[in-house]
């Protein structure tokens, strides 16, 4: 993909994703406007289907909606609320630990920098970037499997794993697209640019795509 085409690609993406449901974490951020709920729902979303993430997040926040309230819950109660998210037992313990740290070390306020968020046990770069971008509206690039796969498939970057993809995108992607890239490509990747056999015949940006690594498409 030529650098000169990127603005057209994002213009099309904005139009295309209107037809589909937004990611669960994004929906939660739009409803609550609360970085804490973005953080918790993002932890729940790892290796979990979107609809399961949304339901689990709503059940947990119905029980408790702040770091102090969740920190006070027994781990078993958190487990029951978030089941059947992937690795729910580990995530319940991690969420309780995060909440305790927020209460004791941050005055119950979620940090707004990637560096501070990474200090929280169980928080990686994907989660930290998502909290910064959709939780606080600050610049960051959240690279998950969809962003990594699709930007490499386009030929816009050529990177072996997500951290390298984030670095490469920070170097060349115009800043006006940093916050939105994850929302757009998660939705686009779930519905059109799928991991196996993407729907290239229905893709409005196919003309700009290098189709790197695509062996079979529809």
DSSP classification of residue 46: T
What pLDDT shows up at residue 1? 81
Q: Of 122, 44, 123, nearest to 87 (Cα)? A: 44
pLDDT digits (tens, 9 = 90+) for 81-118: 999 999 999 999 999 999 999 999 999 999 999 999 99
CATH 1.10.1670.10 maps onto the chain at 3-21+141-208
Confidence (pLDDT) at 161: 95
**Domain 34-135: CATH architecture, name and number where available:** Orthogonal Bundle (1.10)
In degrees to the nearest 10, what's the CA dihedral of 48, 54, 60, 61?
140
pTM for the complete prediction? Answer: 0.91
State the Cα–Cα distance between residues 61 and 66, nearest whole angstrom. 8
User: Where in the chain is CATH 1.10.340.30?
Assistant: 34-135
Options 3.40.50.920, 3.40.50.620, 1.10.1670.10, 1.20.810.10; CATH for 3-21+141-208 is: 1.10.1670.10
Q: Is the pLDDT of residue 2 over 80?
A: no
Q: How far apart are CA 184 and CA 134, in angstroms?
A: 12
Among residues 214, 142, 165, 193, the alpha carbon closest in space to that of 17 is found at 193
- Compare 78 and 47 and report the one with higher pLDDT: 78
The answer to whether 183 and 22 are in contact (CB under 8 A) is yes
Q: For the chain, give the percent of residues with pLDDT over 90.
A: 94
């Amino acid at each position: 993909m030529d650098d000169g085409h990127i603005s057209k690609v994002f213009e099309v993406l904005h139009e295309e994703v209107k037809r589909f449901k937004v990611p669960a974490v994004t929906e939660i951020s739009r409803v609550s406007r609360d970085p804490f709920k973005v953080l918790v729902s993002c932890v729940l979303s790892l290796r979990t289907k979107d609809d399961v993430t949304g339901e689990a997040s709503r059940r947990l926040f119905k029980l408790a909606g702040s770091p102090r309230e969740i920190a006070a819950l027994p781990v078993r109660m958190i487990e029951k609320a978030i089941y059947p998210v992937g690795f729910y037992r580990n995530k319940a313990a991690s969420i309780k630990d995060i909440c305790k740290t927020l209460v004791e070390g941050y005055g119950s306020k979620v940090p707004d920098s990637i560096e501070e968020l990474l200090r929280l046990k169980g928080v990686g770069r994907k989660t930290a970037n998502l909290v910064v971008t959709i939780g606080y509206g600050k610049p960051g690039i959240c690279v998950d499997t969809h962003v990594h796969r699709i930007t490499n498939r386009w030929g816009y970057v050529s990177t072996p794993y997500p951290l390298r993809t984030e670095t490469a995108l920070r170097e060349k992607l115009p800043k006006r697209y940093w916050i939105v890239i994850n929302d757009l490509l998660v939705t686009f990747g779930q519905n059109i640019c799928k991991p196996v056999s993407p729907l290239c015949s229905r893709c409005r940006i196919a003309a700009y795509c290098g189709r790197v690594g695509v062996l079979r498409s529809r």
